[in-house]
Structure 1
Amino acid sequence: MKPDIHPAYHKINAKCACGNEVALGSIKEAIHVEICAACHPFFTGKQKLVDTAGRIEKFKKKYAKHFDQKQA
């Protein structure tokens, strides 16, 4: 390997929105995630609705005419 071309490697704590922290190594100085293995429905077995950036409202707005025609 060539010297002085690799990024600095840091020991960090990746933080989740649920409050869970995981110690790992990264070239970034901080990592923040919205969902992790401690709160993800696949791993916990609990149903959880994750709406990032209003995706559900955006979908309903986009297809409002379609659903109105179907119900009538």
Structure 2
Amino acid sequence: MQQDKHPDYHPVVFRDRSAGYAFLTRSTATSEQTIEWDDGETYPVVDVEISSESHPFYTGKARTVDSEGRVARFERRYGGS
């Protein structure tokens, strides 16, 4: 097996500033900024614009663009029963 083929895989904190949410995971992402986590260790922190805590799909705040259903529109157009 070849050595030094894969990038460095280490613990990283991803922080969603808009939701005030952060989580620790393993990643190849790097950052100059660090943060002290709950366990007392210091980890690199990567700020993200959106995460599962602030994404409309996961929070249930997604807007419905088509308020009239496709079936109802078809029945109105073509005279369904």
TM-score band by shorter chain is 0.5 to 0.7
Instruction: Say which one has the larger Rg.
Output: 2
Q: Percent identity?
A: 35
- Where has structure 1 moved over 6 Å in runs of 4 or more? none
Partners of 1:32 and 1:6 in 2: how far apart? 24
- Tell me: higher relative CO, structure 1 or 2? Use CA pairs within 8 A at least 6 residues apart: 2
Q: Gapped runs of 5+ residues in structure 1?
A: 49-72
Partners of 1:27 and 1:47 in 2: how far apart? 31
User: TM-score, normalization: structure 1?
Assistant: 0.53
Q: How many residues in Structure 1 have an aligned counterpart in Structure 2?
A: 48
**Root-mean-square deviation (Å):** 2.1
1:32 and 2:47 are equivalent in the alignment: yes
Equivalence for 1:52: none
Q: Gapped runs of 5+ residues in structure 2?
A: 32-45, 64-81
Partners of 1:41 and 1:27 in 2: how far apart? 27
User: TM-score, normalization: structure 2?
Assistant: 0.48
More strand by share: 2
More helix by share: 1
